[in-house]
Amino acid sequence: QSHPGGVGGLVGALEQCGLGAAAQSWLSSGPNQPVSVAQIQSALPTAVGQVAAKLGIDPTTAAGHMATLLPQILDHVVPNGQTPADGGMGALGGLLSRLGTAA
């Protein structure tokens, strides 16, 4: 199942897997709710596979990095809950480079 790109697509995918409250916490100024590796793998299987392939790591490791970094990245991509004009695509693209340094 495909989702539109950017922050909206990411949040939509998380909401469909029951992680909407966690995703919304990442977009607000309050504390971020954690997500597990299994939850990221379930909610974002295509993204996990793409990150794993690009970085040459296994999907579980990629999902672990994403579970840690996605909340931090969305905090910065969507300051005060306001999605940038590009839908956050520029900053979401930076996820791969940050994962590359974490891997």
Give the residue with greater pLDDT, 8 vs 32.
32
Exposure pattern of 19-53 as b/e (b: 16+ CB <10 Å)? beebbbbbbeeeebeebebebbbbbbeebbeebbe
- pTM of the model as a whole: 0.73
Confidence check: pLDDT of 3 > 50: no
Asked if 13 and 43 touch (Cβ cutoff 8 Å), the reply is yes
R_g of the chain computed on alpha carbons:
12
